[in-house]
Amino acid sequence: MEGNWEIMKSTWNLVGMGIWLLILVGLVWMVHDMRVRRLRLIVKEHRSFSWHNFTISTIELVVWLLVFGGMSATTFFQDVNHLGDRVTETTRYEPLVINTGSGNGAAYYVTVNNSNGKKPVQTYTYLTEGEKYQVSSTDATVSAGKKAINLPASAYNWDKRKVKKYDQRHQRAWVGVIETTYKKSFVNGLGLHAGRLANRFTLIRIPDHSFMVEK
């Protein structure tokens, strides 16, 4: 149910659903048509191959593959960073809430959990007013020290004035979240993306690494 709700965040996505349905119907019709023409060739001409029949089948297959490939690229392989005005970006900033529940008197803003494996991923847990969040290092970063925008965060558009203001107002203890959302449009609907979240990146700002502990 949740997946269906994500798809139906815009009625434009019905366009993409309709085209995918037509692609499926087209595949069934193509296989049926190839079989019927081959049977007709066997019954009427007593042979199973002709160049004319082969050419028709090839054209049908090429057209179907082109449509299928185009829709697959639009639906599954879009690069959000190259979509231009087809997406919108929103940014929110919130102060962090310090955590003193470790039992040893230490106060911290972020806890880090390390995963095992060939490509280890860290999970950051932090608190804001009334909320607890967990984010992965694949789409989040922790910035400590004088420079708020570190290398991973520099790939995104941050309001430098707000960043400076939050550094001053909250003693370098805040979180910034940039969300990229597909616009509700016909083109985005083709790929079933209209109205859906495309990307989320979290910048966790702390005064220094002593405010981050590993669990």
- The answer to whether the CB of 137 falls within 8 A of the CB of 212 is no
Distance CA 207, CA 2 (A): 38
**Domain tally, the chain:** 2
Lowest mean pLDDT among 6-10, 45-49, 101-105, 162-166: 101-105
- Element of type H or E holding 182: strand 174-182
What pLDDT score was predicted for residue 120? 81
Distances (CA, A) of 106 to 120, 124, 172, 209: 27, 18, 18, 13
Looking at 77, 104, 128, the residue that finishes a domain is 77
Together in a domain, 51 and 67:
yes
Residues 64 and 89 in one domain: no
Beta bridge partners of 179: 90, 200
Reported as a single tens digit per residue, the pLDDT across 109-150 is 999 998 877 778 999 999 999 899 999 999 999 999 899 999
In this predicted model, what pLDDT tens digit does every residue of 153-174 receive, in sequence order?
999 999 999 999 999 999 999 9
Pair 209, 121 in one domain? yes
Mark whether 86 and 156 lie in a shared domain.
yes
Task: Domain of residue 30: give its range.
Answer: 2-77
Instruction: Say yes or no: 153 and 169 in one domain.
Output: yes
pLDDT of the residue at 187: 93
Say yes or no: 103 and 20 in one domain. Answer: no
User: What pTM was computed for the model?
Assistant: 0.81
